[in-house]
Amino acid sequence: MLHGIITNVVRRDNVVKALCKEIGCKVKQEWDGYTPPIILGNDKGMDEIQRTCNKKQIPYLYIDHAYFNRHPNMEWFRLCVSNYHCTDWRDSDRDAKPKVRPWKNPGPNIVVIHPAPKVWSIYPVQEWFDYVMDTIPKYSDRKIVIKKKGEGDLSQILTKAFCAVTFGSVADIDAVRLGIPVFCSDRSPAAPVGQQDLSRIETPSFPDRGQWIRSLSSAEWHLGEVKLAWERVKCLLTAHTQDCNPQ
């Protein structure tokens, strides 16, 4: 059974409580350290819960802002299993409205999107970042521009980007939708349309993005759709994924 962990932040707790009501699980103020938790975001101790779960291989449900239907009161949300982004890639007939611009290489720079501090503390980002900064100069003479969260406007920085290099964030999705090719880790929400091999940094790929957009769209939900959200992910908490609802 799962436990929903609340933080006394109403807009966050409303999502956790709605999901717990659908599942029939308990809502807790504190995590017991072993029951698979339902958490939202990386603040209020949720980062420590994720570190412990990753270390002890305890599955967990992670909730955060939706990819496309972002709402300040969390009326829309994404739901992931043991990761902070969707990785259960599957096609879907769920309505996918987000638009994408044609692929392009508008500028001379390689833009490295620096992971947020909380992500840095939860996942092996330092190892990834060191690898990126060591590897790119071996295969490209282009200028490297580091974009940190909260510093500068991503869309403006990308107007001079040959490609973007990312560990994993919603900024990855923004880059791909703007038509900028990406190199990313397997934790990135852009992994299906990005490349992982930095030795190919000068030859980025430009795949079709339709199925990718549909998959991300089917991983985000309105508060009135918690039953559908639970149906999508419940079997991902076990090793038996063949019965997952594909929508």
Q: Report pLDDT digits (tens) over 200-220.
A: 999 999 999 998 998 898 889
Q: How confident is the model at residue 112 (pLDDT cuts 50, 70, 90)?
A: very high
Q: How confident is the model at residue 117 (pLDDT cuts 50, 70, 90)?
A: confident
Q: How confident is the model at residue 75 (pLDDT cuts 50, 70, 90)?
A: very high
Say if residue 246's pLDDT is above 60.
no
Per-residue confidence (pLDDT) for residue 241, from 0 to 100: 37
Exposure of 48 in the CB half-sphere (CA atoms within 13 A): 7
Per-residue confidence (pLDDT) for residue 237, from 0 to 100: 79
**Which stretch of DSSP H or E encloses residue 40?**
strand 37-40
Per-residue confidence (pLDDT) for residue 244, from 0 to 100: 47
Q: Which residues contact 91 (CB under 8 A, 6 or more apart)?
A: 211, 214, 215, 246
Tens of pLDDT, residues 3-26 = 999 999 999 999 999 999 999 999
Q: What percent of the chain has pLDDT over 90?
A: 74
Which residues is 78 bridged to in the sheet? Answer: 64, 220
Say if residue 70's pLDDT is above 80.
yes
Q: How confident is the model at residue 98 (pLDDT cuts 50, 70, 90)?
A: confident
**Dihedral sign from CA coordinates of 49, 18, 81, 170:** negative
Say if residue 247's pLDDT is above 90.
no
Helix residue spans in the chain (DSSP H): 10-23, 46-56, 117-122, 125-139, 154-158, 170-177, 210-217, 226-233
Say if residue 127's pLDDT is above 90.
yes
What is the longest distance spanned by two Cα atoms in the chain?
A: 56
d(CA 80, CA 88): 8
SS3 24: coil
CATH of domain 109-208: 3.40.50
Per-residue confidence (pLDDT) for residue 223, from 0 to 100: 94
